Amino acid sequence: MKKAMRLIFWLILIGILLLLFSSHVIAQDDYERQRQELVGVIKEHVASTRDFLQQETLDQRIFNVLGKVPRHAFVPRNQRSFAYENRPLPIGHGQTISQPYIVAIMTDLLKPKPGDKVLEIGTGSGYQAAILAELVDSVYSIEIIEALAEQAADNLKQSGYQNVHTRIGDGYYGWESAAPFDGIVVTAVASHIPPPLIKQLKPGGRMIIPVGAPFMTQYLVLLTKAADGSITTRQILPVSFVPLTGAH
């Protein structure tokens, strides 16, 4: 009788484990499908805004990475069913994870290369950092909200990203000890382009930053630094970002 009970117990346990494993596989397959569908939606949005972008499409590497990085791993559990919709989502503390289309064009405008070192201001949940980590050598990311910074670091670690360095701090002042950077991406709106960030950008580098007033007109701005240190800027398209906060 005891042997029979033990056998039944192990059969039930194996059945539960198989069910859990198959559910996990199905969920991962569904996320993969949703990511590919999202890439298609982003391509349509890029085509419809090509006049703003002054280009017909994005670098195919950007689409490949968007189809690979698990956005659901960078949103709260209660938002995971919406993870692959093309819209921002709340991540707590009054912050959001950016719309995938915006992540795509900001990444593309940065023109990331395999050997690059990139600075991100506003880690949020870590999603933009993960996208960049697939395309460059190293990412340095600063988040001013301690709880978000800690959660983002955990999200990135759990997702296997070893080339992202995170810290808590005021992003306005950049990360001087790690400068200079080949590219800088700012994921919060500022009233002006912070001079410390311009200083920390390499000659030949690019910075993408939303500029304007919170809850008013904002534009995504591309800043490029020439070899002689001179600066040029170009407004790309209207956007809506949460404000860059800090003592500045």
For 140, phi then psi, to 5°, come to -115, 120
Widest distance between CA atoms in the chain: 86
Cα gap 186→212, rounded to integer Å: 13
Cα gap 187→98, rounded to integer Å: 8
Closest C-alpha to 237, from 205, 210, 198, 216: 210
Cα gap 83→73, rounded to integer Å: 9
Tokens of 103: 């992540």
- Count of beta carbons in the 10 Å neighbourhood of residue 223: 20
The residues with which 166 forms a beta bridge, in sequence order, are: 141
Q: What is the DSSP string of 183-215?
A: EEEE-SBBSS--HHHHHHEEEEEEEEEEEE-TT
Cα gap 28→239, rounded to integer Å: 32
The residues with which 209 forms a beta bridge, in sequence order, are: 221
Does residue 125 carry a catalytic annotation?
no
Tokens of 95: 């912050």
Cα gap 174→199, rounded to integer Å: 9
List 98, 125, 138, 141, catalytic entry: 98
Catalytically active residues are 98
